[in-house]
Amino acid sequence: MAQRLPDTLPAGLASAEVLQQRQKFGSNTLAQPSRNGLLTSLRHVVAEPMFVLLVLTAGLYLLIGSRAEAYVLLGATALVAGISLYQEARSDRALQALQALTQPRARVRRAGEWAEVAASEIVVNDILVVAEGEQVAADGVLVQAHDLLTDESFLTGESMPVAKTADGKQQVFAGSAVTRGEAVARVTAVGDRTRLGRIGGLIREVEAPATPLQRQISGFVRRMALVGAGAFVVVWGYNWWESGSLVHGLLHGLTLAMAVLPEEIPVALSAFMALGAWRLMRQGILTKQPQTVETLGSATVIGVDKTGTITQNRMTLSQLYCPGAEGAQVFEASSAPLTPAQTELLAAAMWASEPQPFDPMEQALHQAYAATATPDARPAYQLVHEYPLGGQPPMMTHVFADVAGHRIVAAKGAPEGIIARCQLAAPEQAAALAALQAMAVAGLRVLGVCVSTCKANSYPSTQEGFAWQFVGLVGFSDPPKASSAAVLRQFYEAGVAVKMITGDNAVTAAAIAQQVGLHRPEPVLTGTDVMDLDEPTLRRRVGEVNLFARMFPEAKLRVIEALKTNGEVVAMTGDGVNDAPALKAAHIGVAMGRRGTELARQAAALVLLDDELTGMVTAIGFGRKIYHNLTKAVQYIIAIHIPLILAVLVPSVLSWRFPVLLGPVHVIFLELLMGPTCSIVFENEPMEPGTLQEPPRPVNATFLSFQELSGSLAQGLVVAVGVIGLGYYAQNQGYSEVLVRTLVFTTLVLANALLTLVSRSRTLTLRTTWRYTNPLLPAVVGFTLVLLALCLLVPALQHLFDLQSLTWRQLAVCAAVAAASTGWFEVYKAFKK
C-alpha cells in the first residue's frame, strides 16, 4: 500500500465488532427495488404477444370442445414461458458474474492490520483509507488527510475538486473521487444511510438509453407485430365470411398472427449481448455493460497511452546528465562511484519523489539512491510540505525537514519546464536541451530535477515562487512490450486507426512510436497545441496527426471529442486519474485492471484485467463476431417465417380444397424449434475467417441492409414455393387432407433444419462451415429430427397434429424438396466467390 500515513492510527474494529456493526447497520450496498426477480420475469413473459396468442387460442379450443388441442397449446404456453425464463436467467447469470467483478475494493484497518475488502463489506466505525485515483466507498469523518482534494460533483454539481482537512468535522462521501492526496476516515454511514444512498432512488430509476441496434430491432419487431395484427383481422374476417363460423375465423386468424410474430428476435438480442459480455470476461476483458459489446465491432479509432500500454512500464534509471558534463552519462548502480554532481542529482531526484513511491520512476530513483548513498539520509527527514503535480509543463515539489530544522526543497518534472524555470545562462540552457534531445531520441523517458531553499514554515503559494537551481536530468529506459508492434499491425489490419496520446515529450514518444510501427508518427501535436486550436482546425488536425505528446486531461478530452465529432467510433485506453475524463467521453473507455486507478476503472466501459493491449484486439474481434452471428440469427428467423406465413395464408386465400393445412399446434411446434436455434446455436458460432480484416461497421448503419434483407426474403420465398408447391401437387393428385398436411409439415420442418446449416455463413459454403466447431448445432438439429420422427410415428402425436406415417419414398420427396429449396443458396455462395 503506497501511503505516507503513520502507524499511529486507531487499530480499527475486531472481527466480532465487524459482525455486530453489520447486523446493526446493514451492509454497504444500496437497496435494490423491492421486487421479486422471478415474479418480474413472469410478468414480462405474460405480457409477450406470443403468450397472449397461445392463451387465447387454447381458450377457443376449450370453447369448441377440442380439449386435446387446448391442453397441448397450454403446454406449449408453459414451454414458451420456460424458454423465455431460461434465456433471461442465463443472461442474468452472465450479468451477475460481470457485476461481481466490477464491485470496487477498499482498504480498511482492522485489529491493527491493513486489509483489502469488497466495498460492500465496510461497516460503520471502520477505519477507511483512500488515495489518489480511488473512489470513497462510504461516508466518514476525516481522521487524517494529506493534501486531499475530492471530486463531489455528483452531490453538489460543482465541477471543481474540494480541499479537505482533518479538523474533526470535515467528511468524505461515498461515491466521491480522490483527485489528489490521501486520507483516513472513520466510517459514519454505509449503504442507504450515506448521502449517495439517500439520492440512490433517483439513480436507480435512471435507465441507460437503448442503443441504435436495440432501437432498430425493436422497431422491426413492432412493425411485424402490426403486420400480424392486420393479417389477423383480414384472415379472421375472410374465414368468418367464408365458413360462417366466428370461432373458425378466429382460430385461423390467430394461427397466422403466431406465424407472423418474430418473437425470437428480442430474446436473441438480449442473449447475444449478455453472453457476449460473459465470454469476454472469460478472456480477461471485463465489460461493464452488455451494450458495449455492440459498439466494439464498430470501433474506428483507438487512442493508446505509451507508458504501460505500449511500453513495459518497468522503469530503469539509465542515464544522468549534470550541468557542465559532455552529454548524459550511463548510470549503473554497480559501476564506479558517482561524481559529486551525479550524487547531488540522484539525491535531489529522490527527495523530489514520494517517500513511499508508487510510480515506477520514483521507485527506480529510491532504489538507485539506496544502492549508492552513504549514508542514507532518509530516516532523518520527514515530509513537511509538498506541491502536487501541476503547471504547464507539469512539475512537483517536496519539502523535507529534520529535527534540527534543516530543510531540503527538491522538484522534478517535465525537463523543458524545469530548464525554463531555472533561468540558466544561454550556453548552459543550450547544453541541457541538447542532452535532453539526445536522451529523448534514444527513447528514454526524461525528468528534469532542480533544488531550492526556504525558511522554516515560510512557503510560497505556488512552486513558481521558489528560486530554482538546475541540478540535471535523469533518463529512464522503458522498452516497448514484445507484443506492441504485432498489436498495432492487427489494429491496422482490422481497419482501426491508432493514435498515441501520451504525457511524455514529443521526441521520446516519437522514438517509441517508430519502434512499434505507429503509422505517420510525424507531425506531433502537444497538449498546448491542442488547446490553442479552434474547433474546425482541431477536427481537421486530429484526422491527420497520430502522435500527441505532453498531453494533459483537458487536451486529451478535446482530442476525443473532436474525433467523435468527425464521426469516428473512439476507444481510449488509460490508467490514471488524469485519463478518467477522456475514458468517460470515449465510446469505449478501456482501463487497465492491474495498474489502473479505481477512478479510471469506474470511468471506463472495458477493463483489461491483464493490462495487455492484445485484449482490445480480442474484444474488437468478439464484437464483430457477435454482431455477425446476431445478423445470421435474424436472417434465419426472417427466412423461415416467410414459408410458415405463406403455408398458413395461401391455401385459405386461394380457396384450396384443403384451405387449413397448418393449425396453431403446427405453428407453435415450429416456433419452439426456431427460438433455441436462433438464440443458442447461432450465439455459439465461431468467428469466421477474415472477420478482423473487414472494415469497421458504421455505428449508425442499418442493422440489416437491403441486400442482406433481400437475401433472407429470397431464401424464405424459395422455401415457400417448394413447400406450397408440394402441397398443391399432392392435393391435385387426390391425396387425403391428412397426407397433404403431413407432406407440407414434414417438408417445412426439414427445411428449417437445413436452413440452420445453410445460414451459418452468408459467404462460405457448407464445404467450409462443416469444419466449424459448434457442439450445440448437431444437438439442436438432431433434436428437431427426433421430434419430427415422433410426430410421424407415435399414434397419440399423429392424432394431435392430425398427421400420418409416410413411406420412405414420400419422406425422400419431402427431403428432396427441402434440400432443393434451401441448397440453392449454397450454389449461389459458391458462384458469388
Contacts of 85 (CB under 8 A, 6+ apart): 38, 41, 42, 45
pLDDT at position 207 over 50: no
Q: Which of 758, 642, 649, 766 is nearest to 709 (CA)?
A: 642
The count of other CB atoms within 10 Å of the CB of residue 22 is 16
d(CA 752, CA 746): 10
> How far is residue 179 CA from its own chain's centroid?
24
Percent of the chain residues past pLDDT 90, beyond the cut: 29
Cell numbers 403455408 label which residue? Answer: 647
Q: Which of 320, 322, 321 is nearest to 333 (CA)?
A: 320
Asked whether 560 and 586 are in contact (CB, 8 A), the reply is yes
Choose the most confident range, by mean pLDDT, from 279-283, 586-590, 675-679. 586-590
Contacts of 640 (CB under 8 A, 6+ apart): 670, 674, 716, 719, 751, 752, 755
Average pLDDT over every residue of 427-455: 91
Residue 345: its pLDDT value, please? 95
What's the maximum distance between 2 C-alpha atoms anywhere in the chain? Answer: 116
Could you give the residue ranges of the DSSP H alpha helices within 244-324?
Answer: 246-260, 264-282, 291-296
Residues paired with 184 in a beta bridge: 129, 144
pLDDT at position 34 over 50: no
Reported as a pLDDT band with limits 50, 70 and 90, residue 164 is: confident
Concatenate the DSSP letters of all residues of 46-67 into one string.
Answer: HTSHHHHHHHHHHHHHHHTT-H
Q: Which residue has the higher pLDDT, 422 or 263?
A: 422
Choose the most confident range, by mean pLDDT, from 209-213, 370-374, 738-742. 738-742
Asked whether 137 and 106 are in contact (CB, 8 A), the reply is yes
Q: Which of 517, 525, 529 is nearest to 543 (CA)?
A: 525
Cell of 591: 482501463
Residue 183: its pLDDT value, please? 83
Reported as a pLDDT band with limits 50, 70 and 90, residue 574 is: confident
Residue 722: its pLDDT value, please? 95
Identify residue 745 by its one-letter amino acid code: F
Residue 311: its pLDDT value, please? 84
Asked whether 283 and 296 are in contact (CB, 8 A), the reply is no
pLDDT at position 488 over 80: yes
Q: Which residue has the higher pLDDT, 599 or 203?
A: 599
Cell numbers 427426433 label which residue? Answer: 786
Cell numbers 463489506 label which residue? Answer: 121
Tens of pLDDT along 623-662?
888 888 888 888 888 888 889 888 888 887 787 888 778 8
d(CA 449, CA 412): 4
Secondary structure of 699-739 as H, E, C letters: CCCCCCCHHHHHHHHHHHHHHHHHHHHHHHHHHHCCCCHHH
Task: Please indicate, yes or no, whether the overall pTM of this predicted structure exceeds 0.85.
Answer: no
pLDDT at position 544 over 90: yes
pLDDT at position 517 over 90: yes
Tens of pLDDT along 749-804?
999 999 999 999 988 899 888 888 888 899 989 989 999 999 999 998 898 888 99
Average pLDDT over every residue of 106-122: 86
Give all domains of the chain, ordered by start, each with its CATH number: 1-207 (2.70.150.10), 215-280+623-832 (1.20.1110.10), 286-311+481-609 (3.40.50.1000), 316-477 (3.40.1110.10)
Residue 201: its pLDDT value, please? 44
End-to-end CA distance of the chain: 60
pLDDT at position 728 over 70: yes
Cell numbers 413492432 label which residue? Answer: 222
Lowest-pLDDT range of 53-67, 115-129, 443-457, 713-727: 53-67
Q: What average pLDDT does the structure give for the chain?
A: 81
Q: What are phi and psi of 144, to 5 degrees?
A: -140, 150
Residue 276: its pLDDT value, please? 78
Crossing angle of helices 67-102/49-63, nearest 10°?
Answer: 160
pLDDT at position 717 over 90: yes
Which whole-number Å values give the CA distances from 59 to 64, 542, 745, in the listed order? 9, 64, 24
Q: What are phi and psi of 159, to 5 degrees?
A: -80, -20
Average pLDDT over every residue of 560-581: 85
C-alpha dihedral, 722 to 728 to 729 to 733, nearest 10°? 160
d(CA 541, CA 349): 37
